[in-house]
Structure 1
Amino acid sequence: MNTYGQKKAYQDTVSFQLKTELSKNHQIDIKNYLQSIDTTSAPVDRARIYNEIAITYIKASYYLGTSISDSIYHYSNKALLLTEKKKSDRDLFKQYLIALNNIAWSYKEAGNHIKALEFFNRTLKETKQIKRPIDFYTYRQNATTGAALIYEAQSNFKLAIEQYRSLLTYVDENNIDKKNISSIIYIYLARFFGELDEVDKAIIYANKGLKVSITNKMPEREALAYLELASLKLKQKEYQKVAFFLSEAYTILKDSELVILLSKYYLIKAYLADASGAIYQKIDYAEKAFELEGKKSVTRRQVVIGQLLSDAYKEVKDYKKALAYQEKTVNIEKALTNNEEVRKSMLLALEKKDVSLKLEQAKNQMKSRIIIIILLLFIIGFITALSIYNDRKKKVILTKIIKQKNEELNELNQTKSRLFTNISHELRTPLTLISGPIDQLLNSNRETLEITATSKLEMIKENVTSLKNLVNDILDLSKLDASKLELTQQSIHLENTLTKITGKFISLAEKNDINFTINLEGIKGHIIVTDTLKLEKIINNLLSNAFKHTPSKESIHIVATRENSLLNIIVRDTGLGIPEKDVPKIFDRYFQSSDPTKPLEGGSGIGLSLVKELVALMKGEITVESQVGKGSSFTLTIPVTEAIVNDTESFDEEENDSSLEIISLEHLTLPKNYAPKEFTILIVEDHAGMQKFITSVLDKKYNLIIATNGEEALERLKNTTPVDLIISDVMMPIMDGFTLLENIKQSDDYYDIPVIMLTALVETDHKLKALTLGVDDYLSKPFDTKELLARTYNLISRYQQRKQEKGERYPMTDQGIATTPENINPSESLIENDYLQNKGDIKLIEQVAQIIEANLENPTFKLSDLTKHVYLEERQLRTKIKMTTGLTPKKFQQEIILLKARKLLENETYGSVKAVAISVGMTHVTRFSRLYEARFGKHPNRYFKDVGFSIKKTG
């Protein structure tokens, strides 16, 4: 190819690079320089043009964020070859110094800081002989700035500052006019002092840089000075000044292509928005900065912005975008590493190429080509190996980051779940203080209250139940989040169960003049295995939602069918309907409609979310179809299995029917020989309202002592008359209930005193903790007066029976005969001192309780069988049980049965009272119910009514 063809092909290549690497202004400059080189023969002119081309690439590299070190080196080296041996010529010497500086910049861009500093120091050494001040500034400032920026890249800001201080010292020592000091020196000094948090000094230099930039009419540097001032004022939290400087910078930058400065502008805007709490503005500005940084190439600042965006999206709980930006940041770091290595390798290739050109005159052409081929093969192999290594390394890092982010998201979900659980617990105390006094009024004054007053109290009580159900729903969601909610499968008569659930809504339909139809023809005679309580919650929520959004004169239909192993239930209404854009979101937790009419209706957004998650737990599916003004249709599909039953088994669940009579607690009216105020109760409660409520329930029958925390309670025990019962809250300041209980049970003086724990912490692990520490009973908030009175009476009675066995206190017997020490047969006492000092007896009773519980369903199990397990005679075992518990063996066995039943009822293990009674070995359900209510003050049927019907706002 002839010379003209070679030149034309080269120019075409350059032209292609210009389109992808440079701004329009830079492209025009380069084209003009390349055209003028054809008509220039003088070495000094050609060297000047090559240097100008290199400087244009340097500017592009800085302001546009592109990495083009090979182009900088290529043209700088051409200028150096033209001038290096002719330094005696003043004009050529100037171009020589410029070429040295440009080569240093090319090495800096390639990341080879050692070589860059070598060339910058060569420039500084050569400039010492310059006499003219103007020439001094032209060359020495450039080299000093390059060296300072290298130290900045290494975060060595003190050494970067020293570079400029040596320059200013040289100016002073040689009486050089300071007015020619470049604005970039002051701007960079401002940046370096700012990095060292010497903000006052930094502001002084930034203002100097701004002044010089304006004087010299350099808009790019003026904008850079404004950005530095904005960044510094941000550190000082002077946000109005930050906004002013940003505005001034944007006036210059808005129509420019200075990508790096624009990205810095938007990054500072993001930090300013963050300072004012405008998180979404912060995200918007940061995304603009991120986009600008990535327009030309990947940069270190892009990594900073990417991490900022990841943290911001995490803050607004958009974890998908947070993870996406985290992954982008990792990829950018990977690209940076690869680019730096590629630039180094390319630069090495160019250096070797220039060496080979010089050797070409002394060696034959074939050898040079072989060297170049070998070198290129080595570079290709090195880059490939490095790329593979970095890929593997980054994949390992990315995997670790993703794993860490998943762990953080899981931890965040658990924290959120704990928050809702704690809020729900806090609601239980005021619920108790509302429901308790209402029960007192209704139970003691029903006959004297007016019908209107009674009706209003019943309404309040009904809404307290609704609120309690809402609290339970929140707790269920928390359990679902923590994967602690489990299915409790049982056999049910499907038609009877759904009739009972849907029947609760008939009166509501009549009251609101809604046509409510129930079609259960498709499930007649079906007996299945499923979780009844969860199915009831699902249907309750769907019907509640339908009634809430269906006006008078409209219709609601529920249809149930069975197809093989699938139960299908459709709830259809002709109500208001759901806007099309809201349909995909109605099962989202806490969703509120964006439709202008919907917010007026309120709603927590919990009901349908709970439905969705319960259906998923049951391995089912729920879908919805809706049209505004025409109504909605919810279709529920749940897998079920056929129950295996025998002829004697009944599934009518009569014991769960609301018509079952609840007996009165006769023993709550104290017998004549049980004198009021005879016994003393210590109440430990920090909540003033709860103190007042408990006092109002117990004050007529007992002496009461009040303490506000566990520490105060221990003082009261030391300084008051003997206490017969302690009623304590769990969550209290200074000393909580668990710590108080532990202190009491470890005390030789007090650990026989019975303790009732009052708690809103209804989870099993909290109950187990209390039982492990030796609590005698616990009451979960909210509770009613009957529960409190029954459990108080029972525990004091047993305490007195135990003391009677010891001969310490002798109340009246059932026959009204006073018990005295002479009535106790000393030969029956198996211990000489206080029996509670013998820890072995307590362990024995624990062992006995475990054996009895293990044999609850064994109808042939007797006391004689029990003695074989504990290796004691029947008389000895009977005495030990009576002395330790205050109960006969038969009563003790009954207590174990009732405690086991309470656990089953509270944990919702079964769906009916009958199932619970049979599981603890009692076939007579009515007798079981009466015993349970007499012991705990609450009919077992109430546990199932508490999860019943209430209309919730579902949003």
Structure 2
Amino acid sequence: MMRLLLPPLLLFTSLLLSQSKVDSLLHSLESLGEDSLKVQTYLRLTVEYNRIDHNIALNYVNKAQQLAKKLGLESGLAESIYRKGNVLRNINLYDQAMEHYLSALSIYEKLRNTREIIAVKTEMGRLAQLRSNNEVALEFYLEALSLTSQIGDKNGVARIHNYIGGIYKNQKQYRSALNHYGLALAQVEEINFKPGISACLSNLGSVHLLLEEYAQAISYNERAFEIKKETGDKLGASRVLSNLANVYSKKGQHDKAEKLYRQAQLLAKEVDNRHEVAKTEFGLADNAFHRNDYGQCIARANRIISELPYLYDDKLALETHNLLAKAYGAKGEFEKALENAVLYNRLSDSMYNGKILTVTNELEAKYENEQKRKEIALLAKDIDLQSLKLSKRENERNGIILFSLVLLVLATLLYNQFRIKQKANKKLRELDRLKSNFFANISHEFRTPLTLIKGPIEQLEQNPDETLSIENVKMIRRNTNRVLKMVNQLLDLSKMDEGNLKLEPTEGNVYKCLRAVAASFNSHAAQRNIDYKVQIPQTILWASFDRDKLENIVYNLLGNAFKFSEDGATIVFEVNFGQRGLFIQVSDSGKGIPQESLPFIFDRFYQVDGSNTREKEGTGIGLSLSKDLVELMDGTITVASEVGKGTFFTVLLQLQEIKTGADEALQTVKIEKATVLKTPYLLSKADIREIPRVLLVEDNSDMRHFIHELLIKSYKVEEAIHGVAGLKMAIDNPPDLIITDLMMPKMDGITLCKKLKKDVQTSHVPIIMLTAKAGMENKLEGLETGADDYLTKPFDGEELLVRAKNLIVQRQRLRDLFTNKEVQVDPKKVTVNSVDQIFLEKVLELLEANFSESDFGVPQMQKSLAMSKTQLHRKLKALTSEAPGELLRNFRLKRAAQLLSQKADSVTQIAYKVGFNNLSYFAKCFKELYGVAPSSY
């Protein structure tokens, strides 16, 4: 039983568990906007604080009710009213609690929410039971039990059986009470619901106590206490300790009983439950009576009587008056004993017979009336005197309050004037500092590109016979664009300040515009090894928008992301369109922005202080301009950031999709392409150079021209303008390398790649796939189709040349491996895909089975492999660098070398065994391959 004497441990544990939940909820509350999730968080805080501090619980439930009403959330409003009823019931405001339950029930019935209807009716039954209105309580319970059984809620069924058992216990029908408590216990044990199990055990223990079955009562309550301690339920633990104390009191162990009552009362006060405090006080009073300490018994009982108006507990009132009657009788104060006995009889008849019976005679009635008349007269005099004093005090108080208010208003006005002046001065000083920094920074920003432009031009002026290198020309162009961009930003800011910057909307494809802007950063991302992900729907969004301003916004956001991200970081550009408009999101894994700086990053000239140089931080106008442009377009821009983890910008623009415009645009594109695509593929002029052939499959003429100029010095280049033409050209005459775009009319690059890799005639040809899709999933999709390499547009020309060369050299190395003089060749080492491997294995099996037959030749190979002479020649030449006849002859020679090295037979016999009929021809071929005569091998 020592574990029952450790309530401080239980208090500490439960406090930690409860506080942990509260802290978690309060932390999440800070980041929530005004939505349904915040309403639910308020309600969860209400439930937690209902066991800790009822005033705080009321505060949160009121906030939940106001927000739910503001958002028009009927279910949230109903739950708020219901939860408020629970709090009001716990602070004994029973009438107000019932009003809230009825209001919540009305909303839930309208919403047809069965579970919540059950919950509200159950609580209404509990409230009626607390007020000893057992008939009404039982009616509510039976309605709730019927609904709960229908939906199969075992825990709900158990809870209602517990409440019904409580009614029978109050009516002294103990066996019926045990039956209902037993039914409840069976339900919660089936689902292993510990709070419910502990409640049922405690209830069973209380009934066994009334039946004087003390051993069962102690056993049930001890089991219940273990669960209460495990779950951290302070109020429940208080009730269980009180029940145990009752048992020991009945057994005559009054010292142990008093100790348990005091521990139970401490827990009840901790959770501020007046009803439970009063019950433990009754236990202490009853225990004092049995110890013959009648004075303490009467004092404690009278404290309970003073609390009864707030408790509405007729049963507790009944027991208290009965105890007072016995205590006064024991002390010899028979008049007070009689008074309490009468009250006890009245309450007892009311509770158990349903009627109020007159149990006093005429003398008793006259005595009581006289006493009451004297008390009323005395009370009236006291009230009059108190009223006069109160009126005088109120007048004095009102004068003091009025004078204090006047002083407070004057002090507030003076303080506000001082603060406004101080804030204005501080703002002017800050603006002056920002402007000074801006002009210093802008002069630096202009000076650097102007120097890079001026330098090469001066060199050209000093040496007119020389020409500028292409790198210098590119450098001049880059820095000219840089200066132009800054000038345009400054002009836009000036126009914005003067109110002259207007929207100039035109109809167009929004997604196409954004793809073009995003693509301009691809090369920069590749150079710095940045994982740059662009997620734009592959559809058309036709709308009326200001192209220049939209591009300016996106350039600034992406430019900032790249500027403040380290090499190897991740940057994501995502675009979506929905009912609210166009969503643009730019995120990076860069250095992040400190929380104290976030409110100011859209301010003009503002720059976040840090360890980076000014040049890297720029002029401080990019984000300000972006915000102004977004607001000009009736949009919003927000930012979230964490130092060391990165920054997340979100832009929402109000755009209306033009359905007819999109259809017309699609038709226009198709018409334009129809006029351009006159032939399915283009052939270069005859090229007689002995160099590798490259097939270029690309629908964009400018891109074809650019790649053709890159490749033509090192390769023969053939061109096809879509996937269907490219497939036909590749099958008719397989090239050494294929370069294809991913998105093309008629057949895209992925489909083309799949068909080429599955066809035995082209499966050996390496493929480089070009695409504007930069996401990792797109790269994986391209490589999974069998593409040997993958390049994202825009790409570096030198990089394309190097990758093409590597693939052709790699293929040549595989051919060299096959033509090695070693006899054993593994097709897995010679091929790069399963189609080629299967084909080569089939060829080797055919040669192995027929090499010794002198009449077996190329025609027989064609027939066995079901291929034409041309197809077989091209395929074997591509895989092995040997024509079919060479392959057969060298296979026989390699087998002959193997037999000769093993001294299996004479040279003549071995020649015949490997299919040679002419010995001189055999010797000549063997010497050409191995450099020695067969006899000397």
Structure 2 length as normaliser, TM-score?
0.30
Structure number with the higher helix fraction is 2
Structure 1 length as normaliser, TM-score?
0.30
Structure possessing the higher relative contact order (Cα contacts under 8 Å, 6 or more residues apart): 1
